[in-house]
């Protein structure tokens, strides 16, 4: 049993780097996740949604539920949408990592 069994989290910027590692660590502790990453490169010219999708697949392989979100947290409506997505998918929201 993990420390986060049954908890629901949104992790922004979870497609790579520290955000990805946070997502995987939380998944290993039993946390279900909304994996957010807009998928932009350094220049944000191209949005690559596969970045978030790949982390979702890794989390599912660990044994938790995970869904992707591709919205930018810089827009209030998008941020609210992430919260709404978590509640719609999982029934609640316990943790936000930004």
Residue 96 has pLDDT above 80, yes or no: yes
- pLDDT for the residue numbered 49: 63
- pLDDT for the residue numbered 39: 81
Q: For residue range 4-37, what is the model confidence (pLDDT) as tens digits? A: 999 999 999 999 999 999 999 999 999 999 999 9
User: What is the DSSP secondary structure assignment for residue 43, as one 8-state letter?
Assistant: T
pTM, to two decimals: 0.90
Q: What count of other Cβ atoms lies within 10 Å of the Cβ of residue 88?
A: 10
Residues 6+ apart with CB under 8 A from 14: 20, 22, 23, 33, 35, 36, 37, 52, 55, 97
Q: For residue range 59-92, what is the model confidence (pLDDT) as tens digits? A: 999 999 999 999 999 999 999 999 999 999 999 9
């Amino acid at each position: 049993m993990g420390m986060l069994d049954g908890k629901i989290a949104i992790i922004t910027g979870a497609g790579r780097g520290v955000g990805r590692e946070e997502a995987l660590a939380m998944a290993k502790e039993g946390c279900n996740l909304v994996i957010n990453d807009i998928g932009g490169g350094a220049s944000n010219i191209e949005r690559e949604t596969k970045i978030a999708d790949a982390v979702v697949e890794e989390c599912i392989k660990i044994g938790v539920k995970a869904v992707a979100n591709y919205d930018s947290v810089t827009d209030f409506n998008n941020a609210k949408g992430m919260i709404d997505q978590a509640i719609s998918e999982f029934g609640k929201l316990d943790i936000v990592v930004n």
